Chain A
Amino acid sequence: MDVTDPLYQRALLYLQVAGHDTGAQTRLRLQEHFNRCRADGRPVTAATLLPRLHQWFDIAGQCHTLSGPRLVRGSVGYPGG
């Protein structure tokens, strides 16, 4: 396949951003997926790229938030009740 294809390049960028390996093996795997989709008559488009990438690769994503511990409700007292 044409490795200068913008969608292929974007897929690689996404994998890199996700912290996924983008070495030769991954690239080969990605090209195979792209070729198979084209052969199946369901070519990858901008709209389907991300869902497919998530299907093809194990993308853990990044956790940006920390959840708090279990709530233990209490009240605060004020002077004078």
Chain B
Amino acid sequence: MADQPWHRTAHWRRWLLAGLVIGQTLAGLWLLQQGLSSDASGWASTLLMLVFAILFLWIGLGFWTAVFGFFILRRGGDPWSLDRQCPAGDPAELPRTAVIMPICHEPVQRTLNNLAATYRELQQGGDLEAFDFFVLSDSVDPEVWLEEQAACADLCARLGGHQRLFYRRRRIRLNYKSGNIGDFLRRWGMSYKYLVVLDADSLLEASAIIRLVRLMEHRPRAGIIQTAPRLARAGTRFARVQQFANRCYGRLYSAGLAAIQLGDATYWGHNAILRTAPFMRHCGLRRLRGPGLFRGPVLSHDYIESGLMGRAGLEVWLEPSIGGSFEESPPTLEDDLIRDRRWCRGNLQHLWLLATLDGLRPVHRLALLTGILCYLASPLWLGFLGLSGYLGLSGYLGLHSDAPPPTVPGLVASSAGFSGTNHFLMAFTATLLLGPRILALIDQVLAGRTPRFGGATRLLASAGGETLMALILAPVRMVVHSIHVVHALLNMRTPWQGQNRTGDSRSGAQWQPFIWPMTTAGVILALIHWQAPELTPWALPVTVPVLATPLLARWLAEPTSNRRCWLVPEQRVSAPVLARADAGLALGQLWPDLSRFEQRVLAPPSSDRTVRSQQRLQGRKQERLTRLVERCAQAGSGALSDEEITLLCENPESLRALHYRVWQADPDTPWGQVLARLEKTLEWRPGLAGIREEELEHRWIEAAS
């Protein structure tokens, strides 16, 4: 890639960051060395120093990124950002752009209402002409995908989105989300200059989408432009805390990250725009061919795709100044940790790509490394605690018989006394950990944004509560992430399912993530108490939160409408796109007392020949379908497996045959009983579909006002 004007700025910013992080790490190492007892030598102390260096480097990177963000924001934004360089209000015609939403077992109504909100925003602004919308489903459960289909058809009818809103479900699901997008690109990618990628919980305002397209037009070298989505629509305590942290501190981190990365930023997988042609040309992801974890489809595709874009000579920009980009937090701690399990596995796979993929830009390599370290940091912290505990206890355990019994833990105990350097190191560490939060608060005050968080006092109280929560959850995350890392490295399979985004209760199996962490914490506490009872009180802050995780998780999972704590700007003045999504349509709702399959069978099929199967099946497949129709007609929908229901529903002619059969059913047969239920439903629900359009508008106006 030829040198660009921003390269020079990027170089000096990155060197400055490297200097600060390395300098701070060396200072920390020196302090640790001074604090360690002279007796503490050998493999354990060397290993301790090494682990400390990595961890200090890691937390320093976060701290200095936030400092960069602070100064950039105080200067009124980054003059190098695309958003600042591209003039607003370009009247040129918008090029063809596809807005795609890959989904897999997502809450259908919520997801499609999100898409509908974005669609309506574009429609209202008169910019819809350039955009097509695609829902790309990988759902397998027929109850889910039949609802998706029905809801999409309903949405299309309500929005007048014929030939603008499309639904596609892959029958052969290869390579997860990246495979789903790849499938779309192979079929329709050539028709669109740009691709806006949404997640199931994404919401993008029309102004944000149009701004992204304009920036792409303005900067032909840009392959990907990523927005920094804000968390919104939190309903549970856990999500509220995450949302507050994201809104209060997030802008500092994203501004800092964007300033350091400039045109070498990373793609986060959604709420971003891609230049279709180079993305198709360069960003295909092959299945990995390494051993164990490093074999099979790439699970975390986004970082790799931005790396490949950079490798092809295109730029990737993070533009946090573009507003109107939203996503949602997992509603509960369990869901957050389940998502982390997937991400952990995906990020660790990047080790293989780092080793085998040549030509990646150094900044993208570093991004992959930080992604890996996000999860490796947890076992490293655990190792650090273990090592410092070992060093502290070693004297007490008789290795140095004249050493006094420790009364304070770890490396502090191993020093001759609780010296000034120890104090200084602890203060230094606390500054690195808490500094970004303090800087973010100062930034909010200086920017005059405290009223948006309910005033300065409330902002301070919310930040205090959030910090306390983060401190309590830190050991839980440390232990759970460590277990995730071990699971991933041992290549133990994890299910790849849709995320719980609504906070609805899950089955008891969701408590599983806590069993191992609690056992580990219990064993550690027992060992400490057995070997050095004086240290037990020091171990409690780490072990008690882990032991109390189920109670904590339950409390955090509770819905809250508290408008005093963890308030964010969107709760005071809701963005129109959020209000639209919240107003929500009941899509594709026919008869709630019947399963989706029963609804599909009973509903009269379309007489439009174009939507009927063109394929005349023959041979064994036709025989199988005939048998399925017969079995289902006689024994009811329960007689078919999910796979068989899917097969039937994918063949309109068979479904039509079944439709005619079930309407002949006698009252005492399974389908006769379904018809009786249907009759009952219709008596109680005279309106067949959900709320009407006028009602929706009314609700929206209410929400907006």
Q: Which of A11-34 contact B (CB under 8 A)?
A: 13-14, 16-19
Interface string of B173-213 (1 = CB under 8 A from A): 00000000010011111110000000000000000000000
Q: Do B607 and A61 touch (CB < 8 A)?
A: yes
Contact of A71 (CB < 8 Å), options: B187, B311, B660: B187
Q: Is A3 an interface residue (CB 8 A)?
A: no
| A residues near B659, Cβ cutoff 8 Å | 50
Contact of B688 (CB < 8 Å), options: A10, A19, A73, A78: A19
Q: When A17-B602, A79-B311 are in contact, do A69 and B663 touch as well, CB less than 8 Å?
A: no
Q: Do B153 and A66 touch (CB < 8 A)?
A: yes
Contact of A50 (CB < 8 Å), options: B163, B186, B608, B663: B663
Q: Do B186 and A75 touch (CB < 8 A)?
A: yes
Q: When A47-B664, A67-B610 are in contact, do A17 and B603 touch as well, CB less than 8 Å?
A: yes
| B residues near A66, Cβ cutoff 8 Å | 149, 152-153, 156, 165-167
In the assembled complex, the Cα of A61 lies from the Cα of B187 at a distance in Å of 29
Contact of A65 (CB < 8 Å), options: B153, B359, B607: B153
Q: Do B163 and A61 touch (CB < 8 A)?
A: no
B167 to chain A, nearest CB (A): 5
Nearest CB in chain A to that of B659: its residue: A50
Q: Do A67 and B611 touch (CB < 8 A)?
A: yes
In the assembled complex, the Cα of A68 lies from the Cα of B188 at a distance in Å of 9
| A residues near B190, Cβ cutoff 8 Å | 72-74
Q: Is B284 an interface residue (CB 8 A)?
A: yes
Q: Do B607 and A59 touch (CB < 8 A)?
A: yes
Q: Is A41 an interface residue (CB 8 A)?
A: no
**How many pairs of residues, A versus B, come closer than 8 Å at their CB atoms?**
119
A15 to chain B, nearest CB (A): 9
Q: Do B605 and A10 touch (CB < 8 A)?
A: no
The residue among A46, A77, A79 with the most chain B CB atoms within 10 A of its own CB is A79
Contact of A13 (CB < 8 Å), options: B187, B191, B678: B678
| A residues near B493, Cβ cutoff 8 Å | none
Interface string of B132-171 (1 = CB under 8 A from A): 1000000000000010011011001000000101111000
Q: Is B130 an interface residue (CB 8 A)?
A: no
| B residues near A67, Cβ cutoff 8 Å | 166, 610-611
Q: When A60-B606, A62-B605, A67-B610 are in contact, do A74 and B186 touch as well, CB less than 8 Å?
A: yes
| A residues near B607, Cβ cutoff 8 Å | 54, 59-61
A72 to chain B, nearest CB (A): 4
Q: Do A69 and B132 touch (CB < 8 A)?
A: yes
| A residues near B382, Cβ cutoff 8 Å | none
Q: Is A76 an interface residue (CB 8 A)?
A: yes
| B residues near A73, Cβ cutoff 8 Å | 186-187, 190
Q: When A16-B682, A59-B607 are in contact, do A76 and B186 touch as well, CB less than 8 Å?
A: yes
In the assembled complex, the Cα of A9 lies from the Cα of B11 at a distance in Å of 79
| A residues near B182, Cβ cutoff 8 Å | 76
In the assembled complex, the Cα of A60 lies from the Cα of B607 at a distance in Å of 6
Interface string of B43-80 (1 = CB under 8 A from A): 00000000000000000000000000000000000000
Q: When A74-B186, A76-B185, A77-B281 are in contact, do A49 and B166 touch as well, CB less than 8 Å?
A: no
A66 to chain B, nearest CB (A): 5
Q: Do B187 and A49 touch (CB < 8 A)?
A: no
Q: When A69-B191, A77-B281 are in contact, do A63 and B604 touch as well, CB less than 8 Å?
A: no
Q: Is B515 an interface residue (CB 8 A)?
A: no
Q: Do B152 and A17 touch (CB < 8 A)?
A: no
| A residues near B132, Cβ cutoff 8 Å | 69
Q: Is B14 an interface residue (CB 8 A)?
A: no
Give chain B's interface residue range (CB within 8 Å of chain A): 35 or more
Q: When A64-B149, A65-B153 are in contact, do A75 and B280 touch as well, CB less than 8 Å?
A: yes
Q: Which of B595-619 contact A (CB under 8 A)?
A: 600, 602-608, 610-611
Q: Do A14 and B663 touch (CB < 8 A)?
A: yes
Q: Do B664 and A49 touch (CB < 8 A)?
A: yes
Q: Is B282 an interface residue (CB 8 A)?
A: yes
In the assembled complex, the Cα of A9 lies from the Cα of B4 at a distance in Å of 76
The residue among B191, B285, B660, B664 with the most chain A CB atoms within 10 A of its own CB is B664
| B residues near A78, Cβ cutoff 8 Å | 284-286
Interface string of B569-610 (1 = CB under 8 A from A): 000000000000000000000000000000010111111101
Contact of A79 (CB < 8 Å), options: B167, B189, B282, B667: B282
Q: Is B675 an interface residue (CB 8 A)?
A: yes
Q: Do B163 and A69 touch (CB < 8 A)?
A: yes
Q: Is B216 an interface residue (CB 8 A)?
A: no
| A residues near B357, Cβ cutoff 8 Å | 79
Q: When A49-B663, A59-B604, A72-B190 are in contact, do A65 and B167 touch as well, CB less than 8 Å?
A: yes
Q: Do A62 and B604 touch (CB < 8 A)?
A: yes
In the assembled complex, the Cα of A10 lies from the Cα of B668 at a distance in Å of 14
Q: Do B185 and A62 touch (CB < 8 A)?
A: no
Interface string of B263-303 (1 = CB under 8 A from A): 00000000000000000111111100000000000000000
| A residues near B682, Cβ cutoff 8 Å | 13, 16-17
B592 to chain A, nearest CB (A): 14
In the assembled complex, the Cα of A60 lies from the Cα of B605 at a distance in Å of 8
Nearest CB in chain A to that of B676: its residue: A13
In the assembled complex, the Cα of A24 lies from the Cα of B573 at a distance in Å of 50
| B residues near A75, Cβ cutoff 8 Å | 186, 280
Q: Do A63 and B608 touch (CB < 8 A)?
A: yes
Nearest CB in chain A to that of B307: its residue: A79
Nearest CB in chain B to that of A60: its residue: B607
| B residues near A46, Cβ cutoff 8 Å | 663-664
B99 to chain A, nearest CB (A): 13
| A residues near B667, Cβ cutoff 8 Å | 6
A37 to chain B, nearest CB (A): 16
Q: Is B630 an interface residue (CB 8 A)?
A: no
A65 to chain B, nearest CB (A): 6
| B residues near A71, Cβ cutoff 8 Å | 187-188
B98 to chain A, nearest CB (A): 10
In the assembled complex, the Cα of A68 lies from the Cα of B682 at a distance in Å of 33
| A residues near B191, Cβ cutoff 8 Å | 69, 72
| B residues near A17, Cβ cutoff 8 Å | 602-604, 678, 682
11 contacts between A and B (CB under 8 A): A10-B663, A13-B678, A60-B606, A63-B608, A66-B165, A67-B611, A71-B188, A73-B187, A74-B186, A74-B280, A78-B285
**Which 4 pairs between the two chains have the least Cβ-Cβ distance?**
A76-B284, A78-B284, A46-B664, A74-B190
| Contacts beyond the supplied A13-B678, A17-B682, A65-B167: 20 A-B pairs with Cβ under 8 Å | A6-B667, A17-B603, A17-B678, A19-B688, A51-B660, A59-B607, A60-B604, A61-B606, A61-B607, A62-B604, A64-B600, A68-B168, A69-B163, A69-B191, A72-B190, A72-B191, A76-B186, A76-B280, A78-B284, A79-B311
Question: Residues on A close to B: CB < 8 A?
Answer: 6, 10, 13-14, 16-19, 46-47, 49-51, 54, 59-69, 71-79
Question: Residues on B close to A: CB < 8 A?
Answer: 132, 146, 149-150, 152-153, 156, 163, 165-168, 182, 185-191, 280-286, 308, 311, 357, 359, 600, 602-608, 610-611, 659-660, 663-664, 667, 675, 678-679, 682, 688
